[in-house]
Amino acid sequence: MQIAMVSFLFILLAVNSIMIFKLRDRKWTDIIRRLRNMAFGVAGIIVPEMVILLAKDRQIAYYAFTFYYIAFAWYTMMIFRFSVSYSGYKLFKVYKSPLFWITVIESVAFIWGMFSERFFTITHARWYEHTYWICRPFSIFYVYAIVGYITLNGAVVVLIIAATQSARIYRLKYSGIAIIIALMVASRVNSQLRHQPIMVQAVCFALCEIVIVYMAVHYAPKKLNQRAMQFVADKLNDGIVLYDDEHQLQFVTAGFSDAVGLKGMQGIGNEKMYWTKVISEANVENAWNGRVMPIARDDGIYYYEIQHKELDEDGKLIGTVYWIRNVTESIKNYGEMVRRANFDELTGIYNEAHFHEMARKLLEENPDTDFVMTCSSVDKFRVFKELFGQEKYDDYLIRTAESLRTGLTHIPNCVYGRIGESDFYIMMPKEAFDPQQFLDAIDGVAKAYSTNNFNLLIKAGVYEITDPSNDMLAICNKASMACDMIKGDYGKRILWFDESVQKESMLRERYNAELSKAIEHGEIQIYLQPQVDKAGKVIGAEALARWVHREDGLIPPAHFIPFFEMNGRITELDICIWKQACEKLKEWKDKGRDDLYISVNISARDLYALDIYEHYVSLVKEYGIDARNLKLEITESAIINDLKQHVHLVEKLQEAGFEVEMDDFGSAYSSFNMLKDICVDVLKIDMKFLGDTKNEERSHAILKSIVDLSGELYMKTIAEGVETEEQLEFLRRVGCDIYQGYYFSKPMSVVNFEAKYL
Ligand code: C2E
Ligand code: CA
Ligand code: CA
C-alpha cells in the first residue's frame, strides 16, 4: 500500500516536473516565474511526504515532517504572491514582504524546534488498516496553522476581488483559480480535523497545483480568447454567418441579427431561415460576391454588402463564412457625394460641371435643333450683398432657382444651372426662347428684392449657338460676355452676343490688364471742364478722367469707367484722379489762384471700398489745400444705395469743409423723395435728362421746379450739358446758379485749361 501511494506521489511529482519544464518555453513573465516557483514548492511538499510514508525510523520521519511544514509555509506564501501578481492588485503588494519574513521566521523556528520536538510530536496511527506516521501538534503549532489559513484565504480574497471588479468575460480567469485555492483550504481543514495523514492534503495540493497551472496558462486564456472573439463578433455591426460543410447554419453574430432587426424573432431557427433566404437570393445572380443587397426594414431601406469565403482544411471543405457588411451609410453618402458633385449646394440646381455635361449631351442628342445659351446675372451684386447681407442674397439665388424650376418645366430640351456667384445659365431651343417672357420672369423675382433705395437689376446675355461643336465653356462665355457688357448700363437689360460684343469684351480685358501700368506711367489724366457762374465767369472745373493710351490715343471714360465700376477697379483710378486734382489745386494756390475749385467724381464703389472721410481729410492735409476748393460729386444713385449711411458721411464731409454735390440729379426715380433725408450743398442736373424730350415745355417746368425747390432747401444748382444759348438763357431765367457744358467748353487738358483761364 505504501509503495502504491509513493508511486502515486511520484507520478504527481513527475507531472509537476514536466510542467515546470514545459513552462520554460513560455514567455518569461512574472506569472510564469511564480507558477514555476510554486511547482518547486509542491515538489518540496511531495518529497518529504514520500519520505514520511517510507520512513521506518521515527527521527527521519520527524525531520521529514519538519521539512514538509517548512515547504508548506513557503508554498502558501507563493500562492499568495502569485494571486497578487495574477490579479494585478498593487494594494496587496504591501503584504508580500512581511509574509516573506514571517515565513523565514517560521522556517528558522521549525529547524530550531526540529531537534527538541517543540511544536509537534509524531506517533503511529492506523488509517484504513495501515500504519502511518501522523503529527500531534502542540498548541503553539496552531499559530503556524493559522498563518497558513490566513495566507491561503488571503489569496482567495484577492482573486475574488479581482473577479468582481473585472469585466464579465474576465471573471473566469480569477474565479477559477480562487475556487481551486479554496479547495486547497478545504482539504487542509479536512485533513486537520479528521487527523488524516498529511498525505491526503499533499496529494490534494499537488493536484490543485497542476490545475492552477493549467487554468492560468492554458484554459483561462484560451476561453478568454474565445469569449472575447464572440464578444467582439457580437458587438460588430457586421454580420458573420458560418455554415458547416453540410450548409447548416452554425453561427451568426448577434450584433448583426440585431442590426437587421432579427432580434425580436430570436431562435436560431428563424435566423437560419432568414439567412438561408438572404443568401440564396444573393446566389440568384451568380456574381454576387461583393454585391450590395437592399433589405427593407421598418425604418427604411438598408444596404448590405455580402462576401463569402469557403474554408477548407487540407483541401476539404469545412464550411462557408458569409461576411455581411452594413454599407447603408456609405451608400447614402455616395448618393450625397454624387449630389454634391453635380448640384449647386445652395440652390439645388446643376452646378457648372454638371450643367456643361448635360448641355453638351443635349447638343449632341439634338443635332438639328438650334439652341440659345443665356446668362443672367445681378447687376452690382456686390452692392446688393453689401446692402442686404449674404443671407438675403442667398435667398434671392434660391428663389431664382425655384422660378427656373417651375418656369422651365414645360420647355422640352432645356437645361439650366448656377455658375459662379451670381450667374444663372439656361440652354434651350431657340424657338422656345421668348426674350420678353424671359425678362418678365427674371423681373418677377428681382422686384421682390428692390426697395426704395435699391433697384435690383438683372442683366441677361444671349448667345445663339452657331457652332455646337465649340467648347461648352466658350459657349457659356459668349453669353456671359454679352451679359457683362450691359452691366452698369441702366437702360439695357438684354444683349445678344455678336462680333462687336466679342471685340469690346476683349478690349475690356486688355484695359483691365493694362490699368495698373497706365496709372503708373501717367496715362490716366484729368481733363478739366470749366464751370461758369451767372456773370459768365469761370469759377472752377470738373475733373474728368481720360486715358491717354500710348497706342490707342485718347480714350473717353465711357469705354473704361463703367467696366471698372463693375469690376471694382474704379477706386484705383479715382484715387489717381483725386491726387492729380489736389496737385493742381496746390499749384494754383501757390500761384495765388485759390479762388478756383475742382470737383471730382466719387463712384458708388468707392463708398464701400474706402473710408471716404478719412481719405479726403488726409488728402487736403497732405497737399496743404483748402477743403472748400475740392468739391465732391457723388451720383444720386450711389447715395440712394445706402441712404442712412451716406447721409452721415455727407454730414461729416460738410463739417470738414467739403462741398458735396449730388451728380446726375433726376436720373433715379425717387430723387425728390430723397431730398427730405439728405442735405447736399449742390444739386447737379444733367440737361440730357431733360433736353431730349419732345415736350420741351414739360421739361422746362420740371427744371424750374428743381431749381425753386433747391433754393428753398438752401442748395445751389449746377446745370451740366449746357450746349446752346437758349438753354443758358432759360437756366439763367429760372435762377440756376452754375453752368457747365460744351457751350462754354469741352473738357480740355490741364495745359489748355491753364492757358485759357489762368
Ligand atoms: P459725369 O460725371 O456726368 O460727367 C459729365 C459728362 O458729361 C462728361 O463726360 C462730360 O464730358 C460730358 N459733358 C459735359 N458737357 C456736355 C455737353 O454739353 N454735352 C454733352 N453731350 N456732354 C457733356 P465724360 O467725360 O465722357 O464722362 C462720362 C462719365 O464718366 C462721367 O459723367 C462720370 O460719370 C464718369 N467719369 C469721368 N471721369 C471720372 C472719374 O474720374 N471718376 C469717376 N468715378 N467717374 C468718372
Ligand atoms: Ca460728374
Ligand atoms: Ca453728371
Segment 643-695, tens digit of pLDDT: 888 999 999 999 999 999 999 988 766 667 788 888 999 999 988 766 666 67
The Å distance, Cα 633 to ligand 2 centre, comes to 6
From the DSSP assignment, how many helices (H) and strands (E) are in the chain?
27, 22
Contacts of 394 (CB under 8 A, 6+ apart): 346
Strands (E), 434-475: 457-464
If pLDDT is split at 50, 70 and 90, which confidence band does 273 have? low
Do 487 and 459 meet the contact criterion of CB atoms below 8 Å apart? yes
Q: What's the rounded Cα separation, in Å, for the pair 758 and 754? A: 5
Which range is least confidently modeled, 130-134, 551-555, 579-583? 130-134
The Å distance, Cα 542 to ligand 2 centre, comes to 7
pLDDT at 289 over 70: no
User: Quick one: which atom of ligand 1 is closest to the CA of 526?
Assistant: 41
Contacts of 600 (CB under 8 A, 6+ apart): 542, 543, 574, 577, 578, 581, 630, 631, 632, 633
Q: What's the rounded Cα separation, in Å, for the pair 395 and 400? A: 9
Nearest CA to ligand 1 atom 19: 721
What's the confidence (pLDDT) of residue 512?
95
User: Quick one: which atom of ligand 1 is closest to the CA of 527?
Assistant: 25
Nearest ligand to the CA atom of 747: 1
Instruction: Output the CA torsion sign for 392, 396, 401, 406.
Output: positive
Instruction: Output the CA torsion sign for 409, 415, 421, 423.
Output: negative
Nearest CA to ligand 1 atom 11: 747
pLDDT at 175 over 90: no
Mapping DSSP onto H, E and C, the string for 153-217 reads HHHHHHHHHHHHHCCHHHHHHHHHHHHHHHHHHHHHHHHHHCCCCHHHHHHHHHHHHHHHHHHHH
Backbone angles phi, psi at 375, to 5 degrees: -125, 125
The Å distance, Cα 59 to ligand 1 centre, comes to 135
The Å distance, Cα 554 to ligand 1 centre, comes to 15
pLDDT-above-70 percentage for the chain: 90
Nearest CA to ligand 1 atom 43: 601
- Pocket-testing residue among 542, 720, 727, 746, ligand 1, by greatest number of atoms within 8 A of Cβ: 720
Nearest CA to ligand 1 atom 12: 721
Q: What's the rounded Cα separation, in Å, for the pair 152 and 559? A: 104
Nearest CA to ligand 1 atom 26: 557
User: Quick one: which atom of ligand 1 is closest to the CA of 602?
Assistant: 44
pLDDT at 343 over 80: yes
Do 180 and 163 meet the contact criterion of CB atoms below 8 Å apart? no
Question: 484: closest CA among 506, 467, 465?
Answer: 506
pLDDT at 628 over 80: yes
- In this structure, the residues whose C-beta lies within 6 A of any atom of ligand 1 are 529, 544-545, 556-558, 561, 570, 574, 577, 601, 603, 663-664, 720-723, 740-742, 747
Per-residue model confidence as pLDDT tens digits over 559-613: 899 889 888 899 999 999 999 999 999 999 999 999 999 999 999 889 989 999 9
Question: 437: closest CA among 426, 422, 449?
Answer: 426
Nearest CA to ligand 1 atom 15: 741
- Pocket-testing residue among 544, 554, 632, ligand 1, by greatest number of atoms within 8 A of Cβ: 544
DSSP 681-706: SEEEEETHHHHT-S-HHHHHHHHHHH
Q: Which residue has the higher pLDDT, 227 or 459?
A: 459
Nearest CA to ligand 1 atom 44: 603
pLDDT at 262 over 90: no
Backbone angles phi, psi at 508, to 5 degrees: -60, -40
pLDDT at 261 over 60: no
Q: Which residues pair with 663 in a beta bridge?
A: 635
User: Quick one: which atom of ligand 1 is closest to the CA of 688?
Assistant: 21
**Please, what's the b/e burial string for 168-200 (b: 16 or more CB within 10 A of its CB; e: otherwise)?**
eebbbbbbbbbbbbbbbbebbeebbeeebbbbe
The Å distance, Cα 686 to ligand 3 centre, comes to 6
The Å distance, Cα 458 to ligand 1 centre, comes to 25
Angle at 728 between CA 724 and CA 732, to 5 degrees: 170
pLDDT at 69 over 80: yes
User: Quick one: which atom of ligand 1 is closest to the CA of 556?
Assistant: 26
The Å distance, Cα 684 to ligand 3 centre, comes to 7
User: Quick one: which atom of ligand 1 is closest to the CA of 603?
Assistant: 44
If pLDDT is split at 50, 70 and 90, which confidence band does 264 have? very low
What's the confidence (pLDDT) of residue 620?
96
pTM over 0.75: no
Instruction: Output the CA torsion sign for 536, 537, 540, 543.
Output: positive
Question: 718: closest CA among 749, 741, 744?
Answer: 741
What's the confidence (pLDDT) of residue 257?
63
Q: Which residues pair with 291 in a beta bridge?
A: 306
Nearest CA to ligand 1 atom 24: 557
- Pocket-testing residue among 560, 582, 601, 634, ligand 1, by greatest number of atoms within 8 A of Cβ: 601
The Å distance, Cα 543 to ligand 1 centre, comes to 9
Do 373 and 475 meet the contact criterion of CB atoms below 8 Å apart? yes
Per-residue model confidence as pLDDT tens digits over 345-375: 899 999 999 999 999 999 999 999 999 999 9
What's the confidence (pLDDT) of residue 285?
45
What's the confidence (pLDDT) of residue 284?
44
Neighbours of ion ligand 2 (CB under 5 A): 601, 633, 663
What's the confidence (pLDDT) of residue 384?
84
pLDDT at 288 over 70: no
